[in-house]
Structure 1
Amino acid sequence: MMNRAIVVGVDGSQAAKSALTWAAENAARRSLPLRIVQVREPRTAEHLVPAVAESSQAADLVVVGSRGLGGFASAALGSVSYGILHRACCPLAVIGTGWRRS
């Protein structure tokens, strides 16, 4: 049986930091390993999307951050969360920059 995990995509942005914190807390709560997929250049969707999508094959959950552009702007820009949503093999949690620990 394959080890399941929570996968988080990180690109150095503030939204990714929020997603990482959320994912780490949830992985600990569910006693699952946390797998961090990172790109070196910030906001490099063309590298992060396929890497996270591939990692989702062995994941219970994928977590990414969102800058919260919303509406037409995010559709026009082709966000990471939109790309992963259509490629991930498991559920996706999108964490906004404004998320704070409770």
Structure 2
Amino acid sequence: MTDSSSFTIVVGVDGSPDSRLALEWAADEARLRNGRLQLITAWSKPPLAWYPEVLETAAGGIAVAPAPEEDAGKLNAEALKFAADKGAAATGHVVHNHSPAAAIVNAAREADLIVVGARGYGGFEGLHLGAVSHQVVNHAHCPVLIFRPKAA
């Protein structure tokens, strides 16, 4: 827990629907508590990958795929704008780490709360809890809220 009077919420941001809902909840909570958000977006470079990746399009043209770091930076910037629009004080961090869970847990060492979505983009459909949220719960140094959307 933080020693300062500001309630700090670390939010894992990956652009998935669950992550967006978690960010929305965390922004509202930070605003209500006069707290602040730390938005964490982790990225890694796949082994033997070359970036920017040059791809040939179906029409025979050339397209350049953005590097993972650029994608992560854009996601984090969008999350920062969203938090600001909701009236929540926020800082954004783009972290190079092969484990998004480790990036979130490390960023939250002095935090009061971690908020993550239940599921991201990876893994198996239909699981109630994703690998990142599972690891965060097992290694966090503060309370963790896993945000799940309401059932349809």
Instruction: Report the TM-score range of the alignment, normalised by the length of the smaller protein.
Output: 0.7 to 0.9
Measured after TM superposition, the shift of residue 97 of structure 1 is 3.1
- TM-score if structure 2 supplies the norm length? 0.53
Following TM superposition, the consecutive aligned residue runs of length 4 or more in structure 1 with deviations greater than 6 angstroms are none
Given that 1:49 and 1:80 are in contact with CA atoms closer than 8 Å, whether structure 2 keeps it comes out as: yes
Q: Which residue of 1 aligns with 2:116?
A: 64
Give the Å deviation of 1:28. Answer: 0.7
1:28 aligns with 2:31: yes
Aligned match of 1:96: 148
CA pair 86-46 structure 1, distance change in 2 beyond 3 A: farther
- Aligned pairs for 1:1-102 (under 5 A) are 1=3, 4-40=7-43, 46-67=98-119, 69-70=127-128, 74=129, 79-98=131-150
Structure 2: which 5+ residue stretches go unaligned?
Answer: 44-67, 72-96, 120-125
Out of 4-13 and 15-24, give the one that drifted further.
Answer: 4-13
Q: How far 1:39 moved relative to its partner?
A: 2.6
TM value normalised by structure 1: 0.76
Higher relative helix content: 1
Say how many residue pairs are matched.
91
Where 1:69 maps in the other structure, the secondary structure is coil
Q: 2:115 touches 2:145 (CA, 8 Å); kept in 1? A: yes
Superposed displacement of residue 46, structure 1: 4.4
Give me the identity figure in percent: 35
Matched letter for residue 54 of structure 1: N
Counterpart AA for 1:79: A
Greater Rg by CA: 2
**Alignment RMSD (CA, Å):** 2.4
